[in-house]
Copies of this chain bind each other. A is one copy, B any other.
Amino acid sequence: MTGIPPVVLDRASGTALSVQLADALRAAAAGGALRPGDRLPSTRELAAALRVSRTVTSAAYDQLLAEGWAGGRRGVGTFVLGAVPSTPAAPRPGRGPGAPAPALVDLRAGSPCLEVLDRAAWRRAWRAAGDQPPDLRPDPAGDPAFRAAVGDHLLRHRGLVAGPDDVLATAGTSAAVGEVARILPPGSRVAVEDPGYSRAVAALRDAGIEVVPVPVDDDGLVVDALPGGLAAVYCTPAHQFPTGRRMSAARRLALVTRARAEGWWVLEDDYDGELRFDVAPLPLLGALGPDVVVHLGTSSKILSPTLGVGWLVAPAPLRADLLARRTATAIRPARAGQRVLAALAASGDLARHLRRLRREMAGRREQVRAAVAAAGCVAEGDPAGAHLVVQLADPATEEAVRADAARRGLALDGLGRHHQGNGPDRRAGLVLGFAAPTRAELDRALPVLTAVLRAAGRGSGEHEHQPGQRDGQSQPQQHPERTAPAPSVGPQP
């Protein structure tokens, strides 16, 4: 372990001590006092040495970890990592040959973009939340100001009319899926998209639900492939996860019509619905079928999972069942994050943040598409959200690309693991998330991504893949994004 670096903190300054400390440590690294591989003192040691609380040192380390400047693991320690090398890194001293380098840039999907989050607005919101009195007996539906803010948000950004009483606060999408699953009759079957969001599938199984995988194509969930005897269908119509397609209007109508006819619920997971870069979005399922649809949203992708806050708009009888369960068990979403989100909405900071985020994600998306194209591959997905998909020849290629990338310090997510099984429809490829890295990290990572894809192309043959015919459907491709050449596995040299 390196000694305690020289740090001077100004307690009279308006800058948080943790921010000052992170700045000082970065400066120490820039000045050579700390070098890559150096082990930092523990948060406890540093707190004692600087006479600050561990909250301060932990926050500073968290920031440095989030930036990728430091890396570490509980019990082992925190190490200075420094910048990601733009060329493959030489093995570090003390590291066995061939061992993967630490994942310095993480291109997996599902995390938010902290870089565009205005930290001053974030602080203001916490302050405003703290100005409110603590609750004695909180309403199990959630904080009233939060529910009103969600109603405004849904109207403004998603075209869904929902008053505060139509909204329930949730502890996030998975928790909400679990809640709904637990008020279904025992032994219920719920259809899910395949490939699909594995956490929701796990939440359903965790609630004792029998999960029925149903294929997706370029128009989203294949409604005709839904079996009978369902209690509910879980889907991601705005931006199918992971394929990145939106559900067509015809499918939306068919889904809601069948739900009504057969008496099941539709769980509409609108996880990144606020991020759409082209045309006006199609009507939400929640707007087409307010009597049969449970609309689910979350702040985890657009702000931070720190808040642990989501929302749900559901028909009144289902809402009543959910509230009855919350009251009986006292299991209900925490209010602290609800208050922060309500304050962000009330100040207008949330709307400003979403504008910035949309701009940033649209720009990054183009950057990733270009990097993938530079390797002769095609990045698929509608102009929306914070991820793109690159299809690859087969699971072996997917695995090879991910391993190669890991060796070069790039964490990539495989497409295959988003399938439920190993059937013939199983796709192989990459799901490229671009929200989590900083701009600088992305700039460093994308040439590596191009190189990795290019190397994979040299290592494998070509492979003709025809999306949209997987499930026997053959629809005209009207969307400009969909006229891209069918992705070939391995780049064209």
Contacts of A131 in B (CB 8 A): 16, 18-19, 59, 123, 126
Do the beta carbons of B329 and A308 come within 8 Å of each other?
Answer: no
- Copies of this chain in the oligomer: 2
Q: Which of A38-87 contact B (CB under 8 A)?
A: 43-44, 53-55, 58-59, 62-63, 66, 74-75
Whether the Cβ atoms of B135 and A126 lie closer than 8 Å is no
**CB-based nearest B residue for A204:** B329
Which residues of B are found within 8 Å of A450, using beta-carbon distances?
none
The reply to whether A331 and B122 contact each other, CB–CB distance below 8 Å, is no
**A203 interfacial contact with B, CB 8 Å:** yes
The 0/1 profile, CB within 8 Å of B marked 1, for residues 316-358 of chain A is 0000000001001111111111011011001100000000000
Interface size class of A (residues with CB under 8 A): 35 or more
In the complex, residue of chain B having the shortest beta-carbon distance to the beta carbon of A16: B131
The answer to the question of A130 belonging to the interface, with a C-beta cut-off of 8 Å to chain B, is: yes
* Chain B residues in 8 Å Cβ range of A175: 331
Most chain B beta carbons < 10 A, residue from A114, A127, A198: A127
With a cutoff of 8 Å between Cβ atoms, the chain B residues found around residue A132 in the complex are 18, 55, 59, 62
A415 to B267, CA, bound (A): 40
* Complex Cα gap A72–B398 (Å): 59
Cβ contact within 8 Å between B203 and A329: yes
Tell me the residues in window 165-189 of chain A with beta carbons closer than 8 Å to chain B beta carbons.
Answer: 165, 171-175, 178, 182
A114 to B131, CA, bound (A): 14
Question: Could you give 8 example pairs across A and B, Cβ below 8 Å?
Answer: A16-B131, A74-B164, A124-B130, A136-B304, A203-B330, A206-B325, A309-B336, A337-B337
Top 8 closest pairs, chain A to chain B, by CB: A308-B334, A126-B130, A134-B304, A336-B336, A336-B337, A53-B346, A16-B131, A199-B330
